[in-house]
């Protein structure tokens, strides 16, 4: 669904040129536009200046994911400024499937690498890049756009609402750590270099069943295995283990590193933990807890509804140290989006959406029956609920509670009790969660 013909140049009043192009390579190296764009991207996210090898690897990821890049070029850069081929702003978008109900995926338009140089900020560059890009995505037929946000105060104005969350977990793995029963299957330590061959099948099985999950971009395999970190180096401290289910197939893996002898208490820091079965998930935690000379495990992408607490003799060994929004969703085509997902309960509710960018603006009636949903446009008939486009994005998967949104003033009930009805209809088959960041 990625737009095939996005290349273009346009000049604004004030010497800024917006160019959109596909990530490309010359041999192994990034091509000239991609090389300049990468320099700006690394600058914007406070990364080190990339070495030629690191730039080549990252260009390879961008090309593999068919990323569309936008660079904004200042044609009036002063003397000694960074080379004018290094843009003052970056923006990237690409397509990956989003699981909206167990077994149901839709193509999502993912937005990433948004940077504006400090000397050019707050002049509307992000607004222009975002509105142009969302317009192209809607014209290409995407029902939803998604991003992970550096700051929570930026993206509501563009119709994005936080729809999934992750928990930072600290688990004490001293003598108090014990599961109430032993999970089926067994774990084995593997070479982290084998993870890129093992992880995709496990992730796919997890992703297929998990509402809120977004398929991973190409960089993930090197990142989780430690072959090439975001700093452009191999992490030789990275370790890995897998879980074999009763069939003998791998159905879960974990990658991690030791926090160092100077850290107190000595801890294991989990980079990635993906399980396609409940036994795999619990067994991998038991494995982590059994690593000698350590008494703590930390994991920054835990599911808010975590089975571990239910499986522990003493659930207080788990501390949630932070709660963070993960996937932000923007509905571009409400009818396509709401028809795609499944519904556990039958019913009807109507709502009016205010969308300054227009994509989701209007009044709608949602009718659900025997698992399927139908969304139809209403004319000027009265509705049960009013909300802004970002609230619709937040509520779409059912992970955010409409009643709580109403209590917070984000959703206006016209018909008393309508928020509870909406929540009943949108409640997902299993709690939403995504362990992917992009």
The 3-state secondary structure of 313-372 reads CCHHHEEEEEEEECCEEEECCHHHHHHHCCCCCCEEEEEEEECCCCCCCEEEEEEEECCE
Contact stretch for ligand ACO (CB under 6 A) within 54-62, 116-124, 199-207, 264-272: 116-124
> What are the start-end ranges of the E strands in 52-143?
68-74, 89-101, 104-116
111 touching ligand ACO, by CB under 6 A: yes
Nearer to ligand ACO (CB atom), residue 265 or residue 356? 356
Least separation in angstroms between residue 63's CB and ligand ACO is 19
Q: How many CB atoms lie within 10 A of CB 181?
A: 7
* Binder of ligand ACO out of 27, 80, 153, 379 (CB under 6 A): 153
∠ at Cα 68 (65, 74), nearest 5°? Answer: 140
Q: Total residues contacting ligand ACO (rule CB under 6 A)?
A: 21
Report which of 129, 437, 430 is spatially closest to residue 272, judged by C-alpha positions: 437
**Close Cβ partners of 154 (under 8 Å, ≥ 6 residues apart):** 126
Report which of 70, 78, 12 is spatially closest to residue 44, judged by C-alpha positions: 70
Exposed/middle/buried for residue 6 (C-beta within 10 Å: 0-12, 13-18, 19+): middle
134 touching ligand ACO, by CB under 6 A: no
What would the x/- binding string for ligand ACO be over residues 25 to 44, using CB under 6 A?
-------------------x
> Is 116 assigned a ligand-binding role in the annotation?
yes
Nearer to ligand ACO (CB atom), residue 102 or residue 358? 358
Contact stretch for ligand ACO (CB under 6 A) within 29-37, 123-131, 240-248, 392-400: 123-131
* Binder of ligand ACO out of 102, 103, 124, 371 (CB under 6 A): 124
CA distance to 188, 225, 231, per residue, from 192 (Å): 12, 5, 18
**Spatial separation of the C-alpha atoms in residues 436 and 280, rounded to whole Å:** 19
- As a dihedral over the C-alpha atoms of residue 367, residue 342, residue 304, residue 167, rounded to 10 degrees, the angle is -100
Catalytic residue set: 155, 438
327 touching ligand ACO, by CB under 6 A: no
* Binder of ligand ACO out of 70, 112, 295, 435 (CB under 6 A): 112
User: Left (φ > 0), alpha (ψ -120 to 50) or beta: where does 422 sit?
Assistant: alpha
* Binder of ligand ACO out of 25, 123, 257, 374 (CB under 6 A): 123
* Binder of ligand ACO out of 80, 83, 122, 236 (CB under 6 A): 122
* Binder of ligand ACO out of 67, 113, 164, 271 (CB under 6 A): 113
Least separation in angstroms between residue 116's CB and ligand ACO is 4
70 touching ligand ACO, by CB under 6 A: no
> Is 298 assigned a ligand-binding role in the annotation?
no
Interface residue list for ligand ACO (CB under 6 A) = 44, 111-116, 121-127, 147, 149-151, 153-154, 157
Annotated binding-site ranges for acetyl-CoA: 114-116, 122-127, 150-151
């Amino acid at each position: 669904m990625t737009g095939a013909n996005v290349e273009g140049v346009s000049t604004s009043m004030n010497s800024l040129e917006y160019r959109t192009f596909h990530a490309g390579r010359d041999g192994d190296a990034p091509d000239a536009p991609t090389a300049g764009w990468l320099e700006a991207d690394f600058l914007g996210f406070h990364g080190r200046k990339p070495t030629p090898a690191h730039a080549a690897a990252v260009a390879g990821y961008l090309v593999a994911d068919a990323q569309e890049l936008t660079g904004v070029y200042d044609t009036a850069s002063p003397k000694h400024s960074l080379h004018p081929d290094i843009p003052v702003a970056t923006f990237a978008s690409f397509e990956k499937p989003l699981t909206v109900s167990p077994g149901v995926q839709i193509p999502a338009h993912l937005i990433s690498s948004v940077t504006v140089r400090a000397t050019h900020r707050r002049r509307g560059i992000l607004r222009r890049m975002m509105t142009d890009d969302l317009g192209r995505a809607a014209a290409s037929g995407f029902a939803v756009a998604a991003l992970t946000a550096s700051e929570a105060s930026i993206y509501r104005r563009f119709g994005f609402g936080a729809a999934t969350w992750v928990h930072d977990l600290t688990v004490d793995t001293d003598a108090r750590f014990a599961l109430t029963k032993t999970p089926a299957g067994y774990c084995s330590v593997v070479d982290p270099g084998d993870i890129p061959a093992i992880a995709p099948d496990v992730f796919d099985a997890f992703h297929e069943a998990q509402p809120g999950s977004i398929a991973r971009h190409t960089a993930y395999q090197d990142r989780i295995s430690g072959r090439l970190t975001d700093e452009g180096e191999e992490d030789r401290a990275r370790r890995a283990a897998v879980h074999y289910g009763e069939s003998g197939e791998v159905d879960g893996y974990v990658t991690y590193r030791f926090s160092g002898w100077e850290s107190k208490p000595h801890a294991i820091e989990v980079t990635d933990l993906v399980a396609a079965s409940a036994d795999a998930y619990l067994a991998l935690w038991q494995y982590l807890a059994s690593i000698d000379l350590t008494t703590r495990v930390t994991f920054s992408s835990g599911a808010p509804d975590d089975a571990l607490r239910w499986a522990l003799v003493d659930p207080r060994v788990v501390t949630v140290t932070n709660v963070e929004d993960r996937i932000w969703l923007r509905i571009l085509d409400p009818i396509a989006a709401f028809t795609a997902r499944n519904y556990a309960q039958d019913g009807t509710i109507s709502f009016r959406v205010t969308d300054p960018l227009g994509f989701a603006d209007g009044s709608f009636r949602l009718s659900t029956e025997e698992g399927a949903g139908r969304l139809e446009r209403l004319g000027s008939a009265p509705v049960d609920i009013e909300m802004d486009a970002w609230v619709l994005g937040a509520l779409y998967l059912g992970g955010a509670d409409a009643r709580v949104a109403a209590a917070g003033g984000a959703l206006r009930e016209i018909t008393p009790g309508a928020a509870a009805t909406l929540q009943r209809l949108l409640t997902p088959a299993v709690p939403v969660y995504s362990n992917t960041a992009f």
